[in-house]
Amino acid sequence: MTDRLSIDFKDGVADVRLNRPDKLNALDQAMLEALAEAPARLAAQPGLRAVVLSGEGRGFCAGLDMETMTGLAGAGLDIVSRTHGLANLFQQTGWGWRTLPVPVIAAGHGVVFGGGLQVFSGADIRIARPDARLSVMEMKWGLVPDMAGYALWRGLVRDDVLRELIYTAREFTGEQAVDLGFVTRLADDPHAEALALAREIAARNPDAVRGAKRLANLSRDSDAGAILLAEAREQAALIATPNQVEAVMANLQKRPPNFAD
């Protein structure tokens, strides 16, 4: 991991921060590589229960560092080859959070532009300040969203609304983003709210939480039969396991649970 990301791990929660505040956390090569690598590294962290993703300084992320992009394009960048499973390097920076086995909560403030919005959109839950500024900005530069945005926004943002925002690259606020589907809810301090939510999730049966995320991911693209079968399989794998029994006993005895990883 480079210095482009800072990670603080405590009580099962990884607090991940984009760490290039002097450039509004703009995505240069080092930041792209750090973001693409982070989900796999976090997935291997013993005891991981939830992740909070935010940006240092005055904004979440201003999008691609266009000076860096110009240099990459001049070097004959290959973005068609699949280098990270389904994705290329750029797409993995957003898609990787969706495939991380535990829930990811993103906290957005200041600017959440272009590629930064796609990284933000990879989270399971997205909390933003009401005055945050968001934009699907790629059209401003004569480009299309290509960092997993189309896959991540499917089912979140109404199709015609998304088309209008992509075609125009217009800005909208965090408050407007809730109605549009980009943001789950608002908070004056989204990072604090995200950490509180992550800690709440970390106090639940980690096996059930991971199963719930698998089902949520599956339900986006599968038919009813596949979803119903997957529900039954996940539940069958949980019933009467030590962590599931512990969840029941902790509730009956009105005490905090003690789950094992």
159-176 pLDDT, tens digit per residue, is 999 999 999 999 999 999
Angle between helix 224-238 and 206-219 (nearest 10)? 170
What is the Cα–Cα distance from 47 to 50, expressed in whole angstroms? 9
Spell out the SS3 assignment of the chain: CCCCEEEEEECCEEEEEECCHHHCCCECHHHHHHHHHHHHHHHCCCCCCEEEEEECCCCCECCECHHHHHHHHHCCCCCCCCCECCECHHHHHHHHHHHCCCCEEEEECCEEECHHHHHHHCCCEEEECCCCEEECCHHHHCCCCCCCHHHHHCCCCCHHHHHHHHHHCCEEEHHHHHHHCCCCEECCCHHHHHHHHHHHHHCCCHHHHHHHHHHHHHHCCCCHHHHHHHHHHHHHHHCCCHHHHHHHHHHHCCCCCCCCC
pLDDT above 70 for 191: yes
202-248 pLDDT, tens digit per residue, is 999 999 999 999 999 999 889 999 999 999 999 999 999 999 999 99
End-to-end CA distance of the chain: 25
Domain 204-252 matching CATH 1.10.12.10: the answer reads yes
pLDDT above 70 for 19: yes
Query: Which pLDDT value is given to residue 77?
Result: 78
Query: Which pLDDT value is given to residue 70?
Result: 66
The tokens of 151 are what?
A: 């896959």
Q: How confident is the model at residue 76 (pLDDT cuts 50, 70, 90)?
A: low
Does the reported pTM lie above 0.85?
A: yes
Return the CATH fold of 5-201.
Answer: 2-enoyl-CoA Hydratase; Chain A, domain 1 (3.90.226)
- According to CATH, where is 1.10.12.10 located in the chain? 204-252
80-129 pLDDT, tens digit per residue, is 888 898 999 999 999 999 999 999 999 999 999 999 999 999 999 999 99
- According to CATH, where is 3.90.226.10 located in the chain? 5-201
